[in-house]
Structure formats: C-alpha cells, structure tokens
C-alpha cells in the first residue's frame, strides 16, 4: 500500500520522467536483456530497434505517475497491457525481474537524484501496479481455460494456405487434437509460436481474420521487410511466408485482446469500419460478426490500400457486398496503378479524407472502428475529431506497441 508521502514523491517525479523517460526505458531494456536474457523471447526486436517499445513504456510510466492517486483512470491501458501479457504467457514470477531492473535503472540513470525515498516510493508504486496486473491476468487465464479449453500454447495444423494479396498470406489453422474451437470475439488476436532455423522460438500476435464461430482460425500475415538498412526484416512473418506449408504444425495461445466489436450502443447508429493495409484483419472479423448479429444495422466498410496488388480479400469483400444489402464497401487506393484503373479495382483515389466521410456517412452520428498503420490511425482520428465524434464512438488498435493518436 502506497502512503500519502510516497504518492507525493511519485507525483514530484513526473517532470523528470517527462524529460528523461525514454533514456530511462532504453537503459531499462538494455539492462534487463543483459541481466535476464530469459525474457528476450517476450519482445519483438523490430519494436526495440524502432524505439516504439521504449516510447510506449515511457508514456505508460508517466501516465501511471500522473494518476498515482486514481489508477482507475488507467483501466483501459491496464486492460490492453494485461491482454498482451497473457497472450505471451507472462506469469506472476516475471514481475520481480521487471521491478528489480526498473528500480536499478532509475538509480543508475538519475544518479544522486535518485534518493532512497524516491526508490522506496517507486518500489511501492511498482508493487501496487504489479499486483493489479497479476490479479487481472489471472482472471484472463481462468477465462481462457473456461471458454476455450486451454491456456498457454497448443499445437495447430496448417490446413490451408492461400495468398490474400501479393504481400499477405493467410493460414487456416485447426487444432491437432481435433477438439472444436469456441467462437472468438471479433477483433481478437492469437499468439503464434514457431522455431525458425536458428532454434530460437519466437512469438508474435496475429489478429484473427475469420468469421467468429468458424471451425478454423485464420491469420493473415504481411511479409515485413526492413524499413531501413539497420533494421531487421520481420523474423516471424518471413518465416511464415517462406517456410510454413500446408500440413505443418505451429503453436497457438488462446484468443486475447480488448479491441473487440461491442453490442450496438444506440439503435439506428451506423457502424463504420475503416481498415488500412493489413489492419483489415481484425476489422474483417468484425464485419462478419456485425452482418450476422446486427442484420438491420447500416454497415459502412472503408478499405484503404496502396494499390490492387497489395489489397487483401478482394473476392471475399465482393461476395459480402453482393450478399448484404445493408453493407456499403468503399475501396480507396493511395497509389493506384494503370492496371487498377483498367480493372476498376477501387472506388476512389487518395488518402482517407473528410469528403469521403461526408459522401458515405453524411451528417449521421456513427460508431467507428479503425485499424492500420500509425500514421493512418492518427490521420483518421483527427478527421473524426473534426467531425465532433465522441471519444466513446472511436475504437482503434495499433499493430505493435500502443501510441498516442493525439501526438
């Protein structure tokens, strides 16, 4: 239990965290990976290289310090992180490792400024936060066992493999033991674990792109190539594209995630689903669920892609468009090719903009779900705020460490 004096000390450290948070978190990760290499498997090296993991942790620490007297304000962030932790199999015994390295980094980075009182206060604050996560994660683990019948990793067979676009491959996965799958919540992801040729297991989260209640899980994976000369190619995505074939076995943890389609909040309010690139995967699962569960609701599906070559699920969406009169599908390419125009593969060109939202939605109030690259999410969020859409009607998911759309 944090004392009033300790809470005051934590609040006083906020300016220091705002100025030096990323230095601290970089030091923390380097120290933890050096001192406790057993935790390396829980982290994506591409996120470490890009700095997104360090920035996300720095922002989370600052937010916790600002709200130390009322941690309930962080309920959404806690749920997101707890779901991610469970997806990777993080257990209560991992928290002391993090705590020890975090406190050591605070002392080593701040030097003499890190007094015993500050270290004691942050030790108490970390302990309270760890207890909160351990309790919530225990609840999620129990829920997985009750609903899906397992926790941890289970062997799945690749029943089918198909190209969703030039850079995305879909894998259809069924349990090796033949047990039926329970429906996932539309928008959830699973964690896949494979062991490439170097013998080091890797874990990655992939959204489920299939209709909830299918007899299989489907993940649709984009081949991730290095963005710059010093960055690594995606280890797992390239392995899945190049080496995993029909009949192979992979391991999956049960569905997780808080970015899920919620029941209709208000009768008659249209549902608008906006997908950018491979961000379509959770959005497509939501689309299937909405069309089946809410047949009288207007559904507007906006798919943003570079061009037809990398636009996934073309035939699937065309089929749904023909089957459901309450569904409007609009495809927008930002870098359309001459072939796209000849084949009429898209409805418009350019980036997502206010004119398109006005055309499709008009002045109706609507509920929005967005998923895609961070720049697209930030752009979309700003467009929606310009339309005076309430925060409660804007749902989104980052692929990778969470960021701030308002930044």
Domain match, 349 and 235 both: no
Distances (CA, A) of 77 to 116, 257, 258, 359, 374: 29, 12, 10, 34, 17
Q: How far apart are CA 254 and CA 151, in angstroms?
A: 6
**What token pair was written down for 339?**
């072939």
Of the three residues 125, 148, 171, the one that is the final residue of a domain is 148
Beta strands 299-305 and 327-333 are: parallel
Q: Please write the tens of the pLDDT for every residue from 217-254.
A: 999 999 988 766 666 678 899 999 999 999 999 999 99
For residue range 154-169, what is the model confidence (pLDDT) as tens digits?
A: 999 999 999 999 999 9
Indicate whether 17 and 131 sit together in one domain: yes
Query: What distance in Å separates the CA atoms of residue 148 and residue 169, rounded to the nearest whole number?
Result: 25
Q: Show the DSSP H helices in 178-331 as ranges.
A: 235-243, 280-293, 314-323
What pLDDT score was predicted for residue 228?
66
Q: Is residue 242 part of a domain?
A: yes
CATH number, residue 329 = 3.40.50.80
Q: Is 137 an active-site residue? A: yes
Q: Do 218 and 165 share a domain, yes or no? A: yes
* Catalytic choice (29, 64, 95, 369): 95
Higher-pLDDT residue of 77, 336: 336
Can you give the pLDDT at residue 229?
62
Q: What is the DSSP string of 14-45?
A: HHHHHHHHHHHHHHHHHHHHHH-GGGGGGS-H
- The tens digit of pLDDT for each residue in 260-296 reads 998 875 667 999 999 999 999 999 999 999 999 988 8
Q: Which of 29, 64, 126, 137 is catalytic?
A: 137
Does residue 406 belong to any structural domain of this protein?
A: no
Same-domain pairing of 175 and 249: yes
Instruction: Name every residue whose Cβ is closer than 8 Å to that of residue 285 and which is 6 or more positions away in sequence.
Output: 184, 186, 187, 188, 207, 208, 209, 210, 211, 212
pLDDT band at 45 (very low <50, low <70, confident <90, very high): confident
Report the CATH number that the domain containing residue 193 is assigned in CATH. 2.40.30.10
Annotated active-site residue 95? The verdict is yes
* Whole-number Å distance between alpha carbons of 86 and 208: 17
* β-sheet with 249-256: strand ranges across: 202-207, 189-194, 249-256, 154-165, 168-175, 217-222
């Amino acid at each position: 239990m944090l004392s009033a004096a300790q809470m005051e000390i934590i609040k006083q450290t906020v300016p220091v965290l705002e100025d030096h948070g990323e230095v601290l978190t970089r030091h923390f990760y380097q120290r933890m990976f050096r001192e406790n290499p057993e935790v390396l498997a829980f982290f994506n090296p591409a996120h470490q290289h890009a700095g997104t993991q360090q920035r996300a942790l720095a922002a989370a620490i600052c937010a916790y310090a600002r709200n130390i007297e009322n941690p309930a304000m962080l309920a959404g962030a806690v749920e997101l992180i707890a779901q991610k932790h469970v997806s990777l199999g993080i257990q209560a015994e991992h928290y002391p490792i993090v705590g020890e390295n975090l406190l050591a980094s605070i002392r080593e980075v701040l030097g003499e400024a890190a007094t015993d009182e500050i270290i004691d206060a942050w030790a108490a604050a970390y302990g309270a936060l760890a207890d909160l996560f351990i309790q919530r994660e225990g609840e999620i683990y129990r829920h997985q066992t009750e609903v899906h019948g397992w926790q941890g990793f289970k062997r799945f067979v690749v029943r089918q493999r198909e190209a969703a676009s030039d850079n995305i491959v879909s894998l259809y996965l069924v349990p090796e033991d033949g047990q039926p799958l329970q429906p996932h919540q539309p928008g959830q992801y699973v964690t896949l674990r494979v062991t490439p040729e170097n013998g080091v297991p890797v874990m990655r989260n992939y959204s489920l792109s299939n209709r909830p209640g299918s007899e299989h899980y489907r993940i649709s994976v984009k081949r991730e190539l290095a963005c710059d000369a010093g960055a690594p190619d995606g280890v797992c995505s390239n392995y899945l594209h190049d080496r995993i074939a029909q009949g192979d076995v992979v391991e999956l943890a049960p569905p997780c995630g808080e970015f899920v389609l919620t029941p209709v909040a208000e009768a008659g309010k249209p549902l608008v689903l906006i997908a950018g690139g491979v961000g379509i995967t959770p959005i497509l699962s939501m689309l299937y669920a909405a069309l089946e569960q809410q047949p009288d609701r207007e559904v507007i599906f906006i798919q943003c892609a570079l061009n037809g070559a990398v636009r996934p699920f073309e035939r699937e969406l065309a089929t749904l468009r023909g089957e459901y009169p309450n569904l409007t599908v609009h495809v927008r390419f930002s870098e359309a090719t001459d072939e796209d125009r000849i084949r009429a593969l898209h409805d418009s060109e350019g980036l997502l903009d206010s004119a398109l939202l006005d055309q499709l939605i008009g002045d109706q109030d609507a509920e929005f779900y967005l998923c895609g690259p961070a720049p697209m999410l930030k752009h979309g969020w700003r467009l929606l705020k310009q339309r005076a859409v309430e925060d409660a009607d804007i749902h989104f998911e980052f692929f990778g460490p969470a960021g701030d759309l308002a930044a």
